[in-house]
Amino acid sequence: MKSVIGLLLALPTLSLSIGATAKELVANTSIHPPYQMLIDGELHGSTTDTVKCIKLALNARWQIRAVPRARAINNFNTGRAQVLFPVMAAPADGLLTTPIVIERWQWISNRAAQGSRIGVVRGSNEHRWLLDNAMEPTLLVTDESQLIKLMQQGRIDRFIADQKTVDYLSQRDKIDTQHWQRTFLRFVPLYIALHKSYAAGHSHINQLTDQCGRNNMQLTDDEQRTATQYIASLRKTLTDMVKQSLHEHTPVSDNDIILRESHWPSTRLEAAGFIVQSLVQKLKVLHKDNPNIAEIIVMGKRGEVIASAEKTTDYWQGDEAKYLKSIDLDADAYWIAPIHYDQSTRQFIAHVAWPVLDNTTALGVISVGLRMDRLMAPE
């Protein structure tokens, strides 16, 4: 509960004004460690804590119950539950929030095995993915802990599962998995489904979902290493490319920022006189030559856009974390954002940002959005 209270206290007051619901509603989930699990008869876990945080912020009367997966889905479809989490796709009468967690699916195989016997949890998201991709599983089980034991016993050769789930269960059950081979398969966003009749009165819930679930979006150690190694190969090239433009950039006033921001939605990037067009063209070439990059933004001392590979949503980035968290960093330091799922492009993006320094004086900031789904994919 302390973790839920901590998340709630961090939310802005606006989020708490959404109001209470008069009727107690049922929120169904199923046991899936470490995201949803029973400890001493009480539901805990990272996604459970996220939902509890949202519930408190909404001042909502949700009765959160853990039931088998098939029953949870049936309860939602028949109206016995109005909230369902986590889900990969929207039920018939459901609307999805923004993601509350992103799973990392891996192919896990026994290095010594040469067979193709596949195990999977019956009715799971992984089960549906296998069938959608014309892969018939050999053995169906009721939970991931059984898959781990079957692999240990040599009864299956490989299975698909979430990285954190396998790590948690193998440690809990004291099963050595170091000799197993793990291959990244895909990122999978999971959501809360709200019944349409209930969701209509809670338009701010996505703001709460993003804030309450931010701890679930942190990059793993391996992902951070991969991101920093990739950026390290580009940092000098990018910094050298933009440094002169930042030196020559005319400082902007508050009025400049306000006026340009107001005209930005109707301004073409390539036609804006206050954007360094020669730099835009260089960034576009770099972007095109590096498919692992989703975006490149160069900002001035105050967070104003100097140039970018593609037009940004806002001209002023000074209130964005990528600027605020990086402008005061030391030389050679990076700021790395949590992973973000862009639903319009279906890309999983993490921003890496660093300051451009003249000795110890910050001239501006470079931010690069990395496509983590491409970076983590096996070569």
The DSSP 8-state label assigned to residue 190 in this structure reads: E
Predicted pLDDT of residue 280: 98
CA-wise closest residue to 311 among 247, 372, 266, 245: 266
3-state secondary structure of 209: helix
Q: Which residues contact 250 (CB under 8 A, 6 or more apart)?
A: none
Mean pLDDT in order along the chain per 10 residues (379 residues): 44 38 83 95 95 92 94 95 96 93 96 82 95 96 96 94 97 94 96 87 82 94 96 95 95 97 96 96 97 97 97 97 97 95 91 96 97 92
Helix segments in 264-357, DSSP class H: 277-289, 321-324
Distance CA 240, CA 356 (A): 9
Distance CA 209, CA 296 (A): 27
Predicted pLDDT of residue 343: 85
Q: 349: which 2 tokens?
A: 């993006």
CA-wise closest residue to 205 among 356, 360, 349, 51: 51
Predicted pLDDT of residue 8: 43
223-258: buried (b, 16+ CB within 10 Å) or exposed (e) per residue?
A: beebbeebbeebbeebbebbbebbeebeebeeebbe
Report the amino acid identity of residue 75.
Answer: N
Domain boundaries 221-376, CATH class: alpha beta
Cβ–Cβ < 8 Å for 114, 154: no
Per CATH, the architecture of 2-100+189-216 is what?
A: 3-Layer(aba) Sandwich (3.40)
Q: Which residues contact 169 (CB under 8 A, 6 or more apart)?
A: 33, 144, 145, 148, 175
Phi/psi of residue 305, each to 5°? -75, 125
The DSSP 8-state label assigned to residue 143 in this structure reads: S
Predicted pLDDT of residue 352: 98
Cβ-in-10-Å burial (0-12, 13-18, 19+) of 51 comes to buried
3-state secondary structure labels for all residues of 72-85: HHHHHHCCCCCEEE
pTM score: 0.87
Phi/psi of residue 252, each to 5°? -105, 145
The DSSP 8-state label assigned to residue 216 in this structure reads: G
Q: 127: which 2 tokens?
A: 């089960």
Cβ–Cβ < 8 Å for 347, 202: no
Distance CA 81, CA 66 (A): 11
How do beta strands 347-358 and 101-110 pair? Answer: unpaired
Predicted pLDDT of residue 19: 39
Residue whose pair of structure tokens reads 């190694």 in the numeric block: 229
189-211: buried (b, 16+ CB within 10 Å) or exposed (e) per residue?
A: bbbbbbbeebbeebeebebbbeb
Distance CA 270, CA 253 (A): 22
List the chain domain ranges.
2-100+189-216, 103-188, 221-376
Answer whether 2-100+189-216 and 103-188 agree in fold. Answer: yes
CA-wise closest residue to 349 among 310, 315, 316: 310
Distance CA 61, CA 375 (A): 42
**Homologous superfamily of the 103-188 domain (CATH):** Periplasmic binding protein-like II (3.40.190.10)
Residue 32: count of CB within 10 angstroms of its CB: 22
Cβ–Cβ < 8 Å for 263, 305: no
Predicted pLDDT of residue 113: 64
